[in-house]
Amino acid sequence: MFRNLIGPRAVIRPTLTLPTVVAPSAIARWSKRGYASEAEEKDLVIIGGGVAGYVAAIKAGQEGLKVACIEKRGTLGGTCLNVGCIPSKALLNNSHLYHQILHDTKNRGIDVGDVKLNLGQMMKAKDTAVSGLTKGIEFLFKKNNVEYIKGTGAFTGEHEIKVNLSEGGEQTVTAKNIIIATGSEATPFPGLEIDEKRIITSTGAIALDKVPESMVVIGGGIIGLEMGSVWSRLGAKVTVVEFLGQIGGPGMDAEISKAAQKTLKKQGIEFKLNTKVLGGDTSGEKIKLDVEAAKGGKQETLDADVVLVAIGRRPYTAGLGLENIGLETDDKGRLVIDSEYRTKIPHIRVIGDCTFGPMLAHKAEEEGVAAIEYIKKGYGHVNYGAIPSVMYTHPEVAWVGQNEQEVKASGVKYKVGTFPFSANSRAKTNLDSEGLVKIIADAETDRILGVHIIGPSAGELIAEGTLAIEYGASSEDIGRTSHAHPTLSEAFKEAAMATYGKAIHF
């Protein structure tokens, strides 16, 4: 019953499940227990105020549930808002502007004088963005009658959570339903101790107080490439070491991955693919990393001022007291759930990074809404085959659905249509025309199976591809839909036309 249902085409379909009914005898048993502080029983308590948790809390409040959200960080939004998606995008945007002013203004008819980096002010701008958004969530909690409990929560019973309050003291909370949304943490690299100064994770990468002369990034996935791009633009010599034979992670289409690597290399980032890190020495002024070919070969030593460990993330469930209620994690540290996010204890559900599926903020948001719908209405919906991914380098890379490797492996007959931004009028006038749109469709039905974009505003354009897959659109459906001229979105339309027929402008 409890298994990983997250596949490229898996969809949680509506099923009728009545909300958990709590027996009066059970309530009587709870009422006999002594608490550090008495409080009424909640309809729902959520452990974790990250994207999954806070969205679920707001949705629960909108549905009229008595809900509390426990968060130990002191600010809401979790990794994403505090030390992940939001601050990294602030740095990506502003470092791109800096790099563009340095290298890409003359052809635009803009003469600039002496351009200097004020790293402190750039970090301040990042912090301002973060502060505004996290406070915005607190406002939404108040607006939707969500009780915000600052502290660390742990199970003391199947319906009971003890909270060590951040300001001191304890509070015990009881609830009919509980959602675990404790998120994830950066996966450490064996033998390299993280200090967030010289050996850093993404958390340290958004808070360096000076531009390092050299940086080695262990891991060529999205996080490593984004943060590597930031510091490369600001003047660091960046080398990416990746165990696999392509960058971007296994989800990225191979053709798009090669194009991204080519572009990033032109921007100054060096790559060592099919390479593994054996270990490192931090005793000297420079960090020394020993690497060799993934399949064995001659060893090499890389010197760096800073090493960014970006080999992925792992579920975070430490200190939850799972042993007190008999819940266990699988071999990857994930809490096991069924198709309605329930653990083996039906009124305890799990959403976000600490369970199955891609560790993406928007996936967590969808689960937050769906979990509340299951509790309140008995049905919910998340289409895991239509969860987009975006890499916010320049150009951006985005995709949704299956890549060509996956479609080919499945044995489905398919067709591919592409259209380059170099033939798109808006991209040409913007002097930002590197990249392409690639659409993969079923050869017999023309139904779109995957969309892959590298180019300007790819992260925005992918929404059309996601909607197309969600509603089962064909490439001809997209090709026969009018797109405003001149816009970047016309490249999407033309790629669709190339899939079922021929593009007009290429």
Residues of the binding site for NAD(+) = 219-226, 242, 312
Positions annotated as catalytic residues are 485
Average pLDDT over every residue of 363-384? 97
Q: Is 319 in contact with 155 (CB distance < 8 Å)?
A: no
pLDDT value for 39: 64
pLDDT at 178 over 60: yes
Q: Furthest-apart CA pair in the chain: how many Å?
A: 78
For residue 450, give the 3-state DSSP assignment: strand
Residue 103 has pLDDT above 80, yes or no: yes
Please answer whether residues 224 and 230 qualify as being in contact, where contact means their C-beta atoms are separated by less than 8 angstroms: no
| Residue 109 pLDDT | 96
Instruction: Say what percent of the chain tops pLDDT 90.
Output: 91
**pLDDT surpassing 50 at residue 4:** no
- The tens digit of pLDDT for each residue in 252-284 reads 999 999 999 999 999 999 999 999 999 999 999
Q: How confident is the model at residue 297 (pLDDT cuts 50, 70, 90)?
A: confident
Which residue do the tokens 């990468």 mark? 205
311 backbone φψ class: left, alpha, beta (φ>0; ψ -120 to 50)? alpha
Distance between CA atoms of 489 and 72, rounded to whole angstroms? 42
197, burial (CB in 10 Å: exposed 0-12, middle 13-18, buried 19+): exposed
Residues 6+ apart with CB under 8 A from 110: none
What stretch of H or E contains 376?
Answer: helix 361-377
Contact 392, 460 (CB under 8 A): no
Beta-strand pair 436-442/448-455: antiparallel
What is the rounded CA–CA span in Å between residue 163 and residue 166?
9
Q: Mean pLDDT across the chain, nearest whole number?
A: 93
Residue 12: the pLDDT is 35
- Average pLDDT on 228-253 reads 97
In this prediction, residue 32 carries a pLDDT of 32
Of 16-20, 291-295, 311-315, give the lowest mean pLDDT range: 16-20
- The CB density around residue 95, as the number of other CB atoms within 10 Å, is 21
Q: Average of pLDDT values for 392-399?
A: 98
Question: Model confidence over 25-64: pLDDT tens digits?
Answer: 333 333 333 333 446 899 999 999 999 999 999 999 999 9
Mean pLDDT of 476-486: 98
Question: From the annotation, which residues make up the binding site?
Answer: 89, 153, 182-184, 219-226, 242, 312, 353, 359-362
Query: What tens digit of pLDDT does each residue of 299-325 get?
Result: 999 999 999 999 999 999 999 999 999
Which tokens sit at 361?
A: 């903020």
What per-residue confidence (pLDDT) applies to 19? Answer: 38
pLDDT at 79 over 60: yes
pLDDT, residue 35, reads: 34
Query: Residue 447 gets which letter from DSSP?
Result: B
Q: How far apart are the first and last CA of the chain?
A: 51
Radius of gyration of the chain from its Cα atoms, rounded to whole angstroms = 24
Collapsed DSSP state (helix, strand, coil) of residue 49: coil
**pLDDT on residue 424:** 98
Instruction: In the chain, count H helices and then E strands.
Output: 14, 23
pTM of whole model > 0.85?
A: yes
Would the pLDDT of 9 be above 50? no
Backbone phi and psi for residue 97, each to the nearest 5 degrees, phi listed first: -60, -45
Q: Are 27 and 40 in contact (CB under 8 A)?
A: no
Angle at which helices 489-500 and 458-470 cross, to 10°: 50
As a whole number of angstroms, the distance between CA 238 and CA 187 comes to 21
65: left (phi over 0), alpha (psi -120 to 50) or beta: beta
pLDDT in tens, 418-469: 999 999 999 999 999 999 999 999 999 999 999 999 999 999 999 999 999 9
